[in-house]
Structure 1
Amino acid sequence: MCNLYNMTRGVEAMRQLFADLDNRAGNLEPGDVYPDRMGAIITATPQGHALQRARWGMPSPQQFHSASGIDRGVTNIRNTASSHWRRWLTPANRCLVPLDRFSEPRKGKGAGYAWFAPADGRPAFFAGIWVPKWRSVRKLKDGPTTDDLFAFLTTEPNAEVAEIHPKAMPVILTEPDEWQGWLSWPWMEAKLLQRPLPDGALVSWGAI
């Protein structure tokens, strides 16, 4: 599953895509994003769109918490029919997660990663969900913390990703109408966006 992605677009680049953007994130530092780290997300607001930061890893179902109550979080979500996830599928809990490229681990110990990016270089976003001000124990040494959390959906892979990961790929949106639809459509319409990119839509490297 995708547990590493890269994002280099700054605030001004985001404003070119969303003219009404309210920047609540401050400066965005380009680089790799790992689970349980902070990443940029875009959410819908009554005034337009907000750019903010959230911690990568949605709340896990209770049965996956450790014996000491630690919740490591869920980074990739596939089963949107689950009662655990259905409560967060409304427009208020959907977000866009900007990316330039994402990785999938190659088979074999120490084999490294294969990277994937849109073949045409266009701006792209993961179809994400988020929850604000969630209180949990992410690390025992930190104790209970209150965090804005996010994760993104996965689906079956397209041809490029299937060579490395035959079970899943992130849901990636590259069209402005998809971005707006994900943030605003009723779930019965928005769920149709949980689909792979067309074959040939990604370039890859490090896949051998």
Structure 2
Amino acid sequence: MPQAVQPWIVHKVYYGHFLCHVLHQDYVLRAGVDSAAIKQILLDTLDARGAEYPAEHNVGHSYRAKAPLAAQYRRLDPLNRFNSGIGKLSHAPGWADSPDDNGDAMTRIYRCRTALSEAAGLFEAAFTPDASWAGEVYPARRGLIVTQAEDQRQLHPAVWGIPERRLGLRGKDDCPTIWFRELWEVSPFLFEPESRCIIVLDCFATPTGVAGRSSKSWSGLESDILFGWAGIWSGEGANPCFTGFVVAGNALVGHDRVMPALLRPSEAKTCLSGTASEAANLARRTLPPTEMWSEALGEPWNCKR
């Protein structure tokens, strides 16, 4: 309970369902208090803790739908005619005022502007001096990843996007991002330590604005100029390739969007060599907005990679 709202609450009741994870939190407020403002503070606190709400019923028009649910609504109702505005989403016919990318699509652009020696030192990895990669990376371009080979971490370039067939998914396209649950359901063996990787980046982009006029917003970690993104990689064939895990967006990126599963450099050992449970926690974690920055520079979102 945030200290700031304690004086406005007369009584609190907490109770839960037997043998399930549904918890109720009821509050009696003092007369004259702005109940909507108090509720928003409480919801922000739940977001920071990684809680899911509402736990028992659907979002209706009271709560914002997170990225997977928002994408499901778009798939079920492409014309947006059945219950427009549900999940605090668009009321426009055909989702006309939604961003270019739909809620289920992670940004397809990130930046990795660093020197090999800097990244290798930060992630304690060996590297090949003549390695090359793109400073601005989008699918099919080469980025930098960190992998574990026996007792030594390796920093090397790889192509962004693993073919779906290698992941056990139906389709012929390359897959730049994936939800952890998607991988675990069909190919859990691909989450063994030798298949895990850390994607090196300094910021990532998300589209803001409406279709046809959206621009890029860049986001990163407040505490680290260079950081990681949990992923998996494949060394099959001539060109190593990788894909990154995505998670529900936070308040900074947008609850109706998704974002990378970001890592601090200090978490590299857990990500690459930890148990499946420990590494999975990182691959499914949404960092709180207080640990991130975001900046909109007005750059057009005009690269449909």
Match of 1:169 in 2: 259
Q: What secondary structure is seen at the aligned counterpart in 2 of 1:115? A: strand
Partner of residue 157 from structure 2, selected from 53, 63, 66: 53
Match of 2:179 in 1: 78
Structure 1 length as normaliser, TM-score?
0.81
Amino acid in the other structure paired with 1:78 = W
Per-residue CA shift, 1:94-125, capped at 9, x if unaligned?
01111000001224213121111112344310
Greater relative CO, 1 or 2 (CA 8 Å, sep 6+): 1
Change in CA separation of 1:98 and 1:123 when aligned onto 2, cut-off 3 Å: same
Deviation at 1:12, TM superposition (A): 1.4
The reply on whether 1:117 has 2:245 as its aligned counterpart is no
Amino acid in the other structure paired with 2:153 = H
Count of matched residue positions in the alignment of Structure 1 and Structure 2: 187
Amino acid in the other structure paired with 1:131 = S
Match of 2:198 in 1: 96
Match of 2:130 in 1: 26
The reply on whether 1:156 has 2:259 as its aligned counterpart is no
Match of 1:3 in 2: 108
- Residues 101, 116 of structure 1: 8 Å contact kept: yes
- For structure 1, the residue ranges without an aligned partner over 5 or more in a row are 66-71, 135-145
Deviation at 1:168, TM superposition (A): 1.4
- Residues 228, 265 of structure 2: 8 Å contact kept: no
The reply on whether 1:184 has 2:288 as its aligned counterpart is no
Q: In 2, distance between residues paired with 1:122 and 1:161?
A: 18
Amino acid in the other structure paired with 2:190 = W
Change in CA separation of 1:97 and 1:25 when aligned onto 2, cut-off 3 Å: farther
Match of 2:122 in 1: 17
Per-residue CA shift, 1:114-146, capped at 9, x if unaligned?
111112344310001001124xxxxxxxxxxx4
- For structure 2, the residue ranges without an aligned partner over 5 or more in a row are 1-105, 299-305
Match of 1:201 in 2: 291
Amino acid in the other structure paired with 2:193 = P
Change in CA separation of 1:154 and 1:207 when aligned onto 2, cut-off 3 Å: farther
Superposition misfits of 4+ residues, deviation over 4 angstroms: 27-30
- Structure number with bigger Rg: 2
Deviation at 1:13, TM superposition (A): 0.5
Change in CA separation of 1:81 and 1:27 when aligned onto 2, cut-off 3 Å: closer
Change in CA separation of 1:86 and 1:79 when aligned onto 2, cut-off 3 Å: same
Match of 1:40 in 2: 144
Indicate the percent of aligned positions where both proteins have the same amino acid.
26
- Residues 131, 157 of structure 2: 8 Å contact kept: no
Q: What secondary structure is seen at the aligned counterpart in 1 of 2:143? A: strand
Per-residue CA shift, 1:65-102, capped at 9, x if unaligned?
2xxxxxx3111111435444423111100011110000
Change in CA separation of 1:56 and 1:30 when aligned onto 2, cut-off 3 Å: closer
Amino acid in the other structure paired with 1:172 = L
